[in-house]
Structure 1
Amino acid sequence: MTRPPSPESALAQASLLQAMVAIAPKSVRVGCRVIQDGDEAHLLPEEARSILARQPAMRRASGAARWIAHGLLADVGVNDFAILRAPSGTPVWPDGITGSLAHDDEMAVAAVAPVADIGSLGIDVEPAQPLPDDILALVATRSDRTDAADRRLAGRVLFCAKEAVYKAVYPLDREILGYEDIEVDLNAGRAMTKGGRKVSLAYCVAPRVVVLAFVDGGRFRSRADGGNG
């Protein structure tokens, strides 16, 4: 059994949840959890077998993220669904549901939505700290627009956005994308992949950076060039 989080952790969790709910589209359910010792016990047996990572920290984080997702799914009437890890690394969701999981070293997050409203969904979480310059050099391109973000955290938000976009579009296009293949415009709240896939973005920066990337259900199979995904 996991212990209750410390008052500081509980406050951070509550603050982040409030910020996430504020940015999420109406049909998207979101949740977060401070990762704790023993969270690996929240993995259902089938989930535990599908996750090859043996490092305790990774299994704790996976357990925390799935614990959140189990609760979100229960809210829409889906109980005891094992969210398996596919060979591609993506989580497998129930029919009619799209979702995404993420964690950093301390916090796990999850989001789910009906595919009738949200065609595909991605989420990512990062510490609210400046992105190291060497990583920023790999992530940023001249076409990215980050003026709307806090200057100190713009690189971190950009990194988080590209991770979330990849999670949202991979189930649709099955295409491996590098950071240079995703153009992000934080000012407009949108992104586009090199193949023309349009993605909407929403983000918060306190107490952690969280980005939601989503493709609308009504057009989730359409590309900018008119082709099918």
Structure 2
Amino acid sequence: MTPPPSPEVALAQTSLLQAMIAIAPKSVRIGCRVIRDGDEAHLLPDEARSIPARQPAMRRASGAARWIAHGLLADVGVNGFAILRAPSGTPVWPDGITGSLAHDDDMAVATVAHVAHIASLGIDVEPAQPLPDDILALVATPADRTDAAERHLAGRILFCAKEAVYKAAYPLDGEVLGYEDITVDLDACRAVTKTGRKVSLAYCAAPRVVVLAFVDAG
């Protein structure tokens, strides 16, 4: 079992959780966890077997993200469900539930909702730091709109948004998308893919950049 968090870790989790809850629709459950040693033990046996990564850091991150998701699923009455990794790399959710997992080097996040309210979810997390110029050149297109975001974090939020949109769109459309295939408007908090899929966005930029992408049911 992992040791209890230090006061600093607990504060980091609480601060981010508050920011995430503030941006999420009421029908969406969301959570976070600072990744720490031993989190790989939170993987259920079937989950552990479905995840090909053998690097300890990756397995810790996967364990942390699934630990959050297990708690969120329990909140909606689903207990002991193994969130397997599909061959496509996407997590497999219970019938009637949509969800998403993400992590950076230090923080894991997860979100779930009933498909009766939200058709599909995507989430991504990144450090609240400027995006390197070489990565921004790969991510941004002339059609993207980021004026509403803090200038020094606009590129990072854009990157995070496109990652989250892909996670929300793929289960619905089965389409592999590149960054150039997703147009993001942070001013309007929405995005559209090359297939015409419209996705709503919500984001926070402190204490970490988190973007939630979602497609409303119906």
Residue correspondence of structure 1 range 77-88 to structure 2 within 5 A:
77-88=77-88
Please give the per-residue CA displacement for 1:113-144, whole angstroms capped at 9, x wherever unaligned: 00011000000000000000000000000000
Structure 1 residue 209, shift from structure 2 partner: 0.2
Quote the Cα distance in structure 1 between the aligned partners of 2:213 and 2:51. 24
Quote the Cα distance in structure 1 between the aligned partners of 2:162 and 2:171. 15
Aligned to 2:124: 124
Q: Tell me, which stretches of 5 or more residues in structure 1 are unaligned?
A: 219-229
Structure 1 residue 6, shift from structure 2 partner: 1.8
Quote the Cα distance in structure 2 between the aligned partners of 1:3 and 1:142. 47
Aligned to 1:198: 198
1:105 aligns with 2:105: yes
Question: Residue 105 of structure 2 aligns to which amino acid in structure 1?
Answer: D
% same residue:
87
Aligned to 2:21: 21
Relative to the length of structure 1, the TM-score reads 0.95
Structure 1 residue 204, shift from structure 2 partner: 0.2
Aligned to 1:5: 5
Aligned to 2:161: 161
Aligned to 2:212: 212
**SS state at 2:9 partner:** helix
Aligned to 1:226: none
**SS state at 1:72 partner:** helix
Question: Residue 112 of structure 2 aligns to which amino acid in structure 1?
Answer: V
Question: Residue 216 of structure 1 aligns to which amino acid in structure 2?
Answer: D
Quote the Cα distance in structure 2 between the aligned partners of 1:50 and 1:179. 27
Question: Residue 180 of structure 1 aligns to which amino acid in structure 2?
Answer: E
**SS state at 2:200 partner:** strand
Question: Residue 179 of structure 2 aligns to which amino acid in structure 1?
Answer: Y
Aligned to 2:143: 143
Relative to the length of structure 2, the TM-score reads 0.99
Aligned to 1:91: 91
Q: Tell me, which stretches of 5 or more residues in structure 2 are unaligned?
A: none
Question: Residue 44 of structure 2 aligns to which amino acid in structure 1?
Answer: L
Please give the per-residue CA displacement for 1:10-65, whole angstroms capped at 9, x wherever unaligned: 11110000000000001000000000100000000000000000000000000000
Question: Residue 144 of structure 1 aligns to which amino acid in structure 2?
Answer: D
Aligned to 2:34: 34
Quote the Cα distance in structure 2 between the aligned partners of 1:137 and 1:5. 38
